[in-house]
Homo-oligomer: A and B are copies of this chain.
Amino acid sequence: MEHLHQSFTVQYHYNVFFTSSLFLPENELLDSFLVNLNPAAAVKKILFVIDEGVVNAHKGLIAEIKAYFSKHNKTQLVQDILVIPGGEQVKNDTKYFDQVLEAINNYGIDRHSFVAAIGGGAVLDMVGYAATVAHRGIKHIRIPSTVLSQNDSGVGVKNGINYFNKKNFLGTFSPPVAVFNDEVFLSTLSDRDWRSGIAEAIKVALIKDAEFFEWLEANATALANRDTTAMNYQIWKCAKLHMEHIRSADPFENGSARPLDFGHWSAHKLEYLTNFEVRHGEAVAMGIALDTVYSNLSGRISAEDAQRVITLIQQLGFELTHPLLQVTEGNSHILDGLEEFREHLGGQLTITLLTGLGSGEEVHEIDADILKQAAEILNKQTTVIQH
């Protein structure tokens, strides 16, 4: 019998909102979003899951949320607000994932209700994953609390947890219904966390937008000195470029191309090797430095351009490299990392390298000797670039 062909498209859309003091009673943003989405449903509930670090830094937060929903009561707040640890541990141990599922079950959160997560990228990833698979997908809202999650991971479409000691072994591509970036959460970040997220802005500028790279150069000192206006623009612009990339390319990554992974293949390995002592953004800054110097050594960009990247990374206060990124006898962790990345992509290695400030190209082979040389150059730090 003739085969049957199935074909359909699904439309995905969501907004990323920028605000200050999201839960101030007079801030209508969240309430009006909740009320306007799907007004037909009879009862809509909202379950909050919050990163412990955020609760500790903002002591009044839980009370503010309760007060907010007692005023804006068209959406029913689940009074039992879940507080879970932040950072990678929340993705490593499935008990936190189970805790979210249990709350969804116990409080009768259905496909017309909401799960809202407030926290860093790890908390958003884990809660997003739980929401995505419960009842085949509950509407989830992301309220990122770090630079990194506000400008990058929190505004995208990926969720996940670690399993079998593998990063994001379990997960989905499933967009949130909305993201709320609240600048107040940034004010309490440590300098390390404030700085860390800026690495994603360097990355996306380098592969997509020369003008934004120049803006980062011009504002490096302001950013390093915790200037709020500069930070807000950096987050907005980085999120915008990230989102444009997602929609223009291959949102659910059915192909092998992953230009947004520029600088990331070695970063992932380094994070694991240091048991996440090195922050994601710090590792990405080192990964960008490595791939930038490689791009120069392999004849893709000029020494001057590579030097500008290195200078920017240093001005923002990042380290340029790490002993574990060096290739020596008995230490080829980054070569292992390259192989693991190839496996992760499925067969063919695809790495983005720079062809200019603001443009990249995909390559399918990395030369081990050049890589070793690039790592050494960064390790010396004195004469960074080969002229």
A105 touches B164 (CB 8 A): yes
B42 touches A108 (CB 8 A): no
Separation in Å of the A109 CB from the closest CB of chain B?
9
- Whether A110 sits at the interface, judged by CB under 8 Å, is yes
CB neighbours (8 Å) of A348 from chain B are 40-42
B18 touches A1 (CB 8 A): yes
Interface size on A, residues (CB 8 A): 68
Which chain A residues in 166-198 approach chain B with CB under 8 Å? 166, 168-173, 175
- Whether A112 sits at the interface, judged by CB under 8 Å, is yes
Q: Which of B15, B105, B133, B346 is the one whose CB lies under 8 Å from A171?
A: B133
B252 touches A105 (CB 8 A): no
Across the interface, name the chain B residue whose C-beta is closest to A156: B6
- Whether A95 sits at the interface, judged by CB under 8 Å, is no
Interface class of chain A by DSSP? mixed
B7 touches A247 (CB 8 A): yes
Across the interface, name the chain B residue whose C-beta is closest to A175: B6
Q: Which of B4, B9, B112 is the one whose CB lies under 8 Å from A16?
A: B4
- Whether A215 sits at the interface, judged by CB under 8 Å, is no
- Whether A132 sits at the interface, judged by CB under 8 Å, is yes
Across the interface, name the chain B residue whose C-beta is closest to A108: B343
Q: Which of B108, B134, B137, B160 is the one whose CB lies under 8 Å from A252?
A: B137
Separation in Å of the A12 CB from the closest CB of chain B?
6
In the assembled complex, 14 residue pairs joining A and B whose CB atoms fall closer than 8 Å, in A order, are A4-B15, A4-B155, A4-B236, A5-B13, A5-B16, A7-B247, A8-B12, A42-B348, A101-B163, A105-B163, A110-B345, A111-B346, A112-B347, A136-B171
Q: Which residues of A contact B (CB under 8 A)?
A: 1-18, 40-44, 101-102, 105, 108, 110-113, 132-137, 155, 158, 160, 163-164, 166, 168-173, 175, 232-233, 236, 239-240, 243, 246-247, 251-253, 256, 343-348
